[in-house]
């Protein structure tokens, strides 16, 4: 078994998870872990898929930056302001980090390649991020409609 993850919202989903546990092979040399805890969804998978789709669309249409570079620039322009306004811990970490990466280029090309921004966002914050991104970038690029992902 490799990476089965269940979120239980219904009795049927619970039964599927129990069936997966029942089907797991018990082997002392290859143990399987099971964890039961309250699920804290930071952002939806649909939001994550849509943002990455948009990064790819802009990279393909603009041919100026790679998908990863688009992501880093979006984190800088749309994500960092949201997190600075809403998360004191992020604010402290960001201020320390930019001391080592003082220029815009260093921040978007080096720091934001590994510094978490969107991965820390709640569903609401990610919704704001996507709305802001679409409002600005949608004027220049043809981006997938958020409704395709059940958003917007």
Q: How many domains does the chain have?
A: 2
Alpha-carbon gap, residue 84 to 102, rounded angstroms: 17
Asked if pLDDT for residue 5 goes beyond 80, the answer is: no
The reply to whether 55 and 7 lie within a common domain is: no
Q: In this structure, are 128 and 142 located in the same domain?
A: yes
- Domain boundaries, position 108: 45-149
Numbers of helices and strands, H then E, in the chain: 7, 0
Instruction: Clarify whether residues 95 and 140 are in a common domain.
Output: yes
Q: Is the dihedral of CA 111, 113, 118, 119 positive or negative?
A: negative
pLDDT of residue 45: 85
Please state at what angle helix 45-62 crosses helix 67-74, rounded to 10 degrees: 120
Regarding pTM above 0.75, the answer is no
Residues 35 and 71 occupy one common structural domain: no
Q: What is residue 122's three-state secondary structure?
A: coil
pLDDT value at position 35? 79
**What is the C-alpha to C-alpha distance for residues 6 and 75, in angstroms, rounded to an integer?**
29
Shared domain for 74 and 18, answered yes or no, is no
Q: What is the pLDDT of residues 44-98, one digit of tens each?
A: 888 999 999 999 999 999 999 999 999 999 999 999 999 999 988 899 999 999 9
Instruction: Please tell me whether residues 67 and 116 are part of one structural domain.
Output: yes
Same domain, 94 and 140: yes
């Amino acid at each position: 078994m490799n990476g089965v993850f269940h979120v239980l919202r219904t009795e049927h989903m619970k039964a599927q998870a129990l069936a997966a546990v029942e089907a797991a092979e018990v082997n002392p040399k290859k143990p399987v872990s099971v964890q039961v805890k309250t699920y804290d969804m930071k952002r939806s998978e649909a939001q994550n898929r849509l943002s990455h789709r948009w990064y790819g669309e802009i990279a393909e249409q603009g041919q100026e930056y790679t998908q990863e570079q688009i992501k880093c620039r979006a984190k800088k322009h749309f994500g960092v302001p949201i997190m600075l306004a809403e998360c004191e811990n992020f604010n402290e970490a960001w201020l320390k980090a930019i001391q080592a990466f003082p220029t815009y280029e260093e921040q978007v090309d080096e720091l934001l390649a590994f510094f978490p921004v969107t991965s820390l966002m709640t569903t609401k914050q990610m919704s704001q991020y996507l709305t802001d991104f679409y409002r600005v970038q949608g004027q220049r690029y043809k981006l997938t409609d958020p409704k395709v992902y059940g958003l917007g």
